[in-house]
């Protein structure tokens, strides 16, 4: 009897290694692919900003991409040695070795000052032509180091200014005339976000997908704002929504070594904005496009685990939250950062 039980257990043991699961290391997350739709591709998502809660949004996106679309995903963080997430530590990047194994990057970074080893790995990956999706503050991902110009050089824009009024004028995404047939816009409509429109002037080689209509309020049904605004580019005034600023675009960036990055950049991307189904779908579509795979007509972007993100804001991160708190089957601990009280 004991021998039979032993044989049964030995036969079943290998099967446990075939079950789809996410593994949590002390300071980074790995979500193994479910199924083969992702064709063995590995996505590395890098969270590192003080304001827009990338430590909350990127694990959620990684879960969708791994569990719904079959991509292996690794999420890197700004975190202490014990795994406590530290968004304000611009020097920190966990498990930088994973950068070398990426087929595509999703970044949500702001003014990072990584160690030389991490900078060198990321610079090498970009120069080799790896595709990248840059979210919100990734236009100004680095500061005080040689990658300070990354936003302008690779994504197509740097930090310019807040075009809409911060925390009081939300954004409605308007599809650029002529872009309606883009595979990147498959299944996308009713794009809305509570972060303000950034002033942005992507280069002539960029293809604009969405423009940001500045709203006179913070709700999806708020009316378009109407006032004059002076551009930083030439100091001339214009109606704030005429023309509207680009909030999502693609480009093919030629690297110094002769390779090509397929780039999707959106200046939207606060964690709470990814409650918008279309914004999640834009990122998922961007992964397929970046890897030169067929984009689904309507990609499945339903949440894998409960998602209750905080509102953006400095020092609004969940204090004491650890990387291991964000694994598969887990909801974020604690209460989210609340939205500000609307002005009367």
- Of 251, 304, 257, 293, nearest in space to 103 by CA: 293
Q: How confident is the model at residue 20 (pLDDT cuts 50, 70, 90)?
A: very low
* CATH code: domain of residue 262: 3.40.50
Q: What is the pLDDT averaged over residues 311-339?
A: 96
In whole angstroms, what is the distance from residue 54 CA to residue 45 CA? 10
Q: Is the model's pLDDT at 299 over the cut of 60?
A: yes
Helix or strand or coil: residue 94? Answer: coil
Task: Provide the pLDDT for residue 341.
Answer: 76
In whole angstroms, what is the distance from residue 159 CA to residue 281 CA? 25
Specify if 55 maps to a domain: yes
Lowest mean pLDDT among 9-23, 104-118, 146-160, 176-190: 9-23
Lowest mean pLDDT among 19-23, 165-169, 297-301: 19-23
- 208: β partners: 249
b/e map 173-200, b = 16+ CB within 10 Å? bebbeebeebebbbbbeebbbbbbbbbb
Q: What is the pLDDT averaged over residues 97-105?
A: 99
Specify if 279 maps to a domain: yes
Helical ranges in the chain per DSSP H: 2-16, 54-67, 116-127, 150, 277-290
Helix or strand or coil: residue 23? Answer: strand
Task: Provide the pLDDT for residue 343.
Answer: 59
Q: What's the domain count of the chain? A: 1
Task: Provide the pLDDT for residue 87.
Answer: 98
Specify if 133 maps to a domain: yes
Q: Scan for tokens 């409605």, then name that residue.
A: 172
Q: Is the model's pLDDT at 217 over the cut of 50?
A: yes
**What are the tens digits of pLDDT across the range 243-276?**
999 999 999 999 999 999 999 999 999 999 999 9
Task: Provide the pLDDT for residue 22.
Answer: 55
Report, in this order, helix, strand and coil percent for the chain, each rounded to 5.
25, 25, 50
Give me the percent of the chain exceeding a pLDDT of 70: 92
Q: Is the model's pLDDT at 12 over the cut of 80?
A: no
Lowest mean pLDDT among 25-39, 202-216, 246-260, 330-344: 330-344
Specify if 292 maps to a domain: yes
Specify if 11 maps to a domain: no
Q: At what angle do helices 277-290 and 54-67 cross, to 10 degrees?
A: 60
In Å, how far are 104, 153, 173, 176 from 210, measured between CA atoms?
22, 21, 6, 5
Q: How confident is the model at residue 9 (pLDDT cuts 50, 70, 90)?
A: very low
Specify if 230 maps to a domain: no
Q: Is the model's pLDDT at 25 over the cut of 80?
A: no
Q: How confident is the model at residue 2 (pLDDT cuts 50, 70, 90)?
A: very low
Specify if 238 maps to a domain: no
Q: Across the chain, what does the average pLDDT equal? A: 93
Lowest mean pLDDT among 7-16, 71-80, 102-111: 7-16
Specify if 309 maps to a domain: yes
Q: How confident is the model at residue 340 (pLDDT cuts 50, 70, 90)?
A: confident
5/21: higher pLDDT: 21
Task: Provide the pLDDT for residue 166.
Answer: 96
Task: List the domain range (segments joined by +) for residue 122.
Answer: 21-160+245-326
């Amino acid at each position: 009897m004991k021998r039979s039980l032993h044989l049964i257990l030995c036969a079943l043991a290998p099967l446990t290694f075939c079950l789809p699961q996410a593994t949590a290391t002390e300071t980074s997350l790995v979500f193994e692919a479910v199924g083969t739709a992702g064709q063995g591709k590995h996505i590395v998502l890098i969270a590192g900003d003080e304001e827009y809660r990338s430590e909350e949004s990127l694990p959620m996106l990684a879960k969708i991409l791994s569990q719904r679309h079959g991509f292996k995903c690794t999420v890197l963080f700004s975190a202490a040695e014990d795994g406590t997430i530290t968004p304000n530590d611009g020097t920190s990047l966990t498990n930088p070795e994973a950068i070398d194994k990426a087929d595509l990057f999703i970044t949500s970074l702001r003014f990072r000052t990584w160690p030389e080893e991490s900078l060198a790995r990321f610079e090498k990956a970009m120069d080799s032509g790896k595709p990248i999706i840059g979210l919100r503050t990734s236009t100004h991902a680095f500061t005080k180091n040689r990658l300070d110009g990354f936003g302008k050089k690779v994504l197509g824009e740097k930090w310019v200014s807040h075009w809409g009024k911060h925390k009081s004028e939300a954004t409605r995404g308007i599809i650029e005339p002529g872009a309606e047939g883009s595979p990147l816009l498959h299944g996308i409509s009713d794009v809305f976000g509570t972060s303000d429109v950034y002033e942005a002037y992507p280069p002539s080689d960029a293809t604009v997908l969405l423009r940001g209509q500045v709203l006179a309020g913070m709700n999806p049904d708020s009316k378009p704002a109407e006032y004059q605004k002076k551009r930083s580019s030439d100091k001339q005034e214009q109606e704030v929504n005429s023309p509207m600023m680009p909030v999502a675009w693609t480009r093919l960036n030629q690297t110094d070594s002769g390779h090509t990055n397929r780039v999707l950049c959106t200046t939207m991307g606060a964690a709470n904005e990814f409650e918008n189904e279309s914004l999640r779908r834009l990122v998922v579509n961007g992964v397929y496009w970046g890897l030169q795979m067929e984009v689904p007509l309507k990609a499945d972007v339903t949440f894998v685990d409960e998602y209750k993100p905080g509102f953006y804001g400095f020092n609004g991160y969940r204090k004491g939250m650890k990387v291991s708190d964000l694994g598969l089957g887990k909801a974020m601990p604690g209460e989210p950062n609340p939205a500000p009280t609307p002005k009367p």
